[in-house]
Structure 1
Amino acid sequence: MEEMITQILQNFKIEKLNEMQLASLEANEKPNDVVLLSSTGSGKTLAFLLPVLQRLDKTNNKTQALVVVPSRELALQIEQVFKTMGTGFKVTSCYGGHKREIEENNLLQAPALIVGTPGRIGDHIRRGNMQVDSIETLVLDEFDKSLELGFQEEMAFIIESVKNLKKRILTSATEATEIPDFIQLNDPLRLNFLTGEKEAALEVKVIMSDDKDKSDTLFRLVCYFGNRSTIIFCNHREAVERTSALLADKGIVNVYYHGALEQQERESALAKFRNGTSNILVTTDLASRGLDIPNIRYIIHYHLPATEDVFTHRNGRTARMEASGTAILIIGPEEKVPDYIPTNTQEIELPESNELPEKPKWSTLFIAAGKKDKVNKIDIVGFLTNKGQLKKEDIGLIEVKDFFSFVAVRKVKVSNILVNIKDEKIKNKKVKIDIAK
């Protein structure tokens, strides 16, 4: 292996492996799974591809390793790095937007390594295009971003399908992310090469409320922030619904989320928040762990968190993946700033006048068909462009669940599209389509 590493370094015109890459090689020689925390651009790809290469067997002509990534760009980049390594092993990448027929042909003679996005990998597994029983090594690169982008279901399906795994390698550029149980880590070794600079991306501020119920302060604060992505945390389900209704009555578009909602209602609320139909989510602490919601700008602690741990988990929804974020605590007249908040924390002063935030430009359609009906994102785009006469730029984020789907469309197009598709079919089947409740 040393000779091969020397040759690989020459191919990349690198003198030697860095400290993080050496640590990864050493850790991956042990039977434990490995979690590697390292910033973007630090050589992370080689840090996991070298251990993967060590585990590949030239006498085995089946697929032996799988790398799952959050984006097509990353899939193509890793495929190129592996090719540049000059290992003699076949690699192929699979991702949404790439012709499936091409990928199916590439998979006919099983590559030793497959790199792909969760949705497309899951699709190939369901279609029987991939030999999953022979895969012993799984890498989840930038797994935190995959979780944030809404791939949790697909990732769980992939891990459930790849039953003979002997090694899992997870990489991330952020410390905050919790690793879901479905990944089934085996006594993981953690290698943390983050400098801690990312932590500074989160600002904490306080605002004092003269009113005990704090609702007027919350309203003014939301107006002050404008149309930015915001999560408002309350301590109880009843408070979530009451706060959501108070904001709605004052003209603030918002959705709410808590554990007593039906699954479809929960999925609908999150879909609307993710796709920009609503920029405000009012929720309990249910939303503080493991939810795949990217690009949150503000966290508002309408009710003070019970503990510092709760505070930290709530704040973990923002300031992720090099984005900045701000956490604000609203302090009522009978409350005091928690001890774990620094005494020099900035206090927000609100202007006297309130201007309602601009209304979102997107609306969400509910489609009563999903994966189990063999409906996918491409089918939905085709249906909405052909039958609904929408342009592609009028279609936003699409989420396909097992039995239903959500799709964002420009609000100004909604009434037209519902007329256009009234008697049309998806996949030769009449399906209920309406504005998501």
Structure 2
Amino acid sequence: MGTKFKVNVCYGGHSIDTELKNLGSPPALLIGTPGRLTDHLERKSFDTGSIKTLVLDEFDKSLQLGFLDEMNTIISRLPGLQKRVLLSATSDIEIPAFVRMESPITLDYTEEEKNEALSVKLVLSPEKDKIDTLFHLLCSLDPGPALIFCNHREVTERISGLLNKKGIQTGYYHGGMDQDDRERILVRFRNGSLHYLVTTDLAARGLDIPEMNHVIHYHLPATESEFIHRNGRTARMHASGTAYIIQFREDKMPEYISGNMDVLPVTPGKPLPDPPGYRTIYVSGGRKNKLNKSDIVGFFLQKGKLDKSDLGLVEVKDFISFAAVRASAVKTLLANIRDEKMKGKKYKIEVARDVIKRVE
């Protein structure tokens, strides 16, 4: 946002040594996950006496995921707190006593009006295993990214693998993956080199992922709240979108879904969706190597002889970077920069590896 304040992050899977080095010069804002923040408090990585404000984002979800002990520990180690901000997309959450909220003020930004930009359609599956119906649905949809929600981690991997086997490039995303793999798959989804992502409810909230036209419920969640969160990934900011519920003909709808829905017939025989127009290029250097977005863009355009229109989203991390490059230009780019140096140093630059589950 260009505030010029120092901001650091800490989370599981991120280099603890890098975090400790960053905290040597205290930031104005520290953003982290409950587990890693607790770890740093145990290590006494930074002075807590001057911390006046604590923000607990997705507070309701954190309680559901079992982070109560960690949040209790964090708050107990911050003796100078003057303000606590709890953010939640759902209401009526009981605030535990350890938060020590005195006379809280509630700010409600929800809208009572029904989201007219969102349409919900029912897709009936003739079989209990709905993979073929999902495949035919994807072949029937207009081009564009889609999130496919499942209720279990292992199912996301199975569905992703089967769709890849059928010829639709698909990735999966869930909380059991390594942090590095989760970040890589989200980079590809954001930059348009992957159109379909099979995920658990982990992707329903709090992720920096693009606006999309399609949300598909392969499984319906247990609660209406999670159903709303999933659907919130489309039809945002005045855009329109569609949520699809794939349901076995003999299964009953949960109670939170009422009323008649339009049934969308899907038929076999439609051609496969077009593959993504971009591929993700991996660069073995990032911010800590003194590389920035301009360095990578300039290198690809000048040394790689890439046309500006062939370069998409560029993301620079601490020690690695990713760039979306039009698929038709990748081979020429890699050939042109094979022996070239960027800012006087040779980096490994290649097509980013995929995270794909093999299905026998």
TM-score by length of 1: 0.58
Alignment match, 1:210: 126
| 1:215 CA drift (Å) | 0.5
Distance (Å, rounded) in 2 between the aligned partners of 1:434 and 1:166: 49
After superposition, residues 298-377 of structure 1 pair within 5 angstroms as 298-377=214-293
1:41-77 Cα deviation digits (max 9, x unpaired):
xxxxxxxxxxxxxxxxxxxxxxxxxxx4xxxxxxxxx
Which one-letter code corresponds to 1:300 in the other structure?
I
Return the index of the structure with the highest Cα Rg. Answer: 1
Alignment match, 2:209: 293
Of 124, 129, 150, 1:234 maps to 150
Which one-letter code corresponds to 1:316 in the other structure?
G
Instruction: Supply the RMSD in Å over aligned alpha carbons.
Output: 3.7
Q: Does 1:432 align with 2:348?
A: yes
After superposition, residues 138-177 of structure 1 pair within 5 angstroms as none
Which one-letter code corresponds to 1:383 in the other structure?
F
Alignment match, 1:412: 328
| 1:294 CA drift (Å) | 2.0
Alignment match, 1:277: 193
* 3-state SS of paired residue (2:211): coil
After superposition, residues 10-409 of structure 1 pair within 5 angstroms as 68=1, 94=2, 116=3, 189-192=105-108, 196-197=112-113, 199-409=115-325
Distance (Å, rounded) in 2 between the aligned partners of 1:270 and 1:291: 9
Distance (Å, rounded) in 2 between the aligned partners of 1:165 and 1:394: 49
Q: Which runs of 5+ in 1 are unaligned?
A: 1-67, 69-93, 95-115, 145-163, 177-183
* 3-state SS of paired residue (2:123): strand
Which one-letter code corresponds to 1:246 in the other structure?
L
Is the 1:308–1:340 Cα contact (8 Å) retained in structure 2? yes
Alignment match, 1:38: none
Distance (Å, rounded) in 1 between the aligned partners of 2:314 and 2:114: 30
1:318-374 Cα deviation digits (max 9, x unpaired):
222222222111111442122111221211112453121122111100111112212
Alignment match, 1:102: none
* 3-state SS of paired residue (2:350): strand
1:300-324 Cα deviation digits (max 9, x unpaired):
1112212222222222222222222
Which one-letter code corresponds to 1:420 in the other structure?
N
- Of structures 1 and 2, the one with the larger relative CO (CA 8 A, separation 6+) is 2
| 1:385 CA drift (Å) | 0.9
1:131-157 Cα deviation digits (max 9, x unpaired):
969xx999xxxx99xxxxxxxxxxxxx
Distance (Å, rounded) in 2 between the aligned partners of 1:379 and 1:271: 19
| 1:197 CA drift (Å) | 4.0
Q: Which has the larger helix fraction?
A: 1
Structure 1 residues 377 and 356: alpha-carbon distance in aligned structure 2, compared to 1, 3 A threshold: same
Is the 1:226–1:358 Cα contact (8 Å) retained in structure 2? no
Which one-letter code corresponds to 1:288 in the other structure?
A
Aligned residues: 290
Q: What fraction of aligned residue pairs are identical, expressed as a percent?
A: 49
Structure 1 residues 216 and 428: alpha-carbon distance in aligned structure 2, compared to 1, 3 A threshold: same
Structure 1 residues 339 and 313: alpha-carbon distance in aligned structure 2, compared to 1, 3 A threshold: same
| 1:208 CA drift (Å) | 1.0
Distance (Å, rounded) in 2 between the aligned partners of 1:424 and 1:167: 52
Is the 2:123–2:263 Cα contact (8 Å) retained in structure 1? yes
Distance (Å, rounded) in 2 between the aligned partners of 1:396 and 1:354: 29
1:14-41 Cα deviation digits (max 9, x unpaired):
xxxxxxxxxxxxxxxxxxxxxxxxxxxx
Structure 1 residues 168 and 393: alpha-carbon distance in aligned structure 2, compared to 1, 3 A threshold: farther
| 1:168 CA drift (Å) | 9.8
Distance (Å, rounded) in 2 between the aligned partners of 1:339 and 1:293: 30
Which one-letter code corresponds to 2:305 in the other structure?
Q
Structure 1 residues 277 and 193: alpha-carbon distance in aligned structure 2, compared to 1, 3 A threshold: closer
1:177-214 Cα deviation digits (max 9, x unpaired):
xxxxxxx9x88744446654473322222111011110
Distance (Å, rounded) in 1 between the aligned partners of 2:112 and 2:285: 44
Structure 1 residues 426 and 263: alpha-carbon distance in aligned structure 2, compared to 1, 3 A threshold: farther
Structure 1 residues 362 and 122: alpha-carbon distance in aligned structure 2, compared to 1, 3 A threshold: farther
Structure 1 residues 295 and 198: alpha-carbon distance in aligned structure 2, compared to 1, 3 A threshold: farther
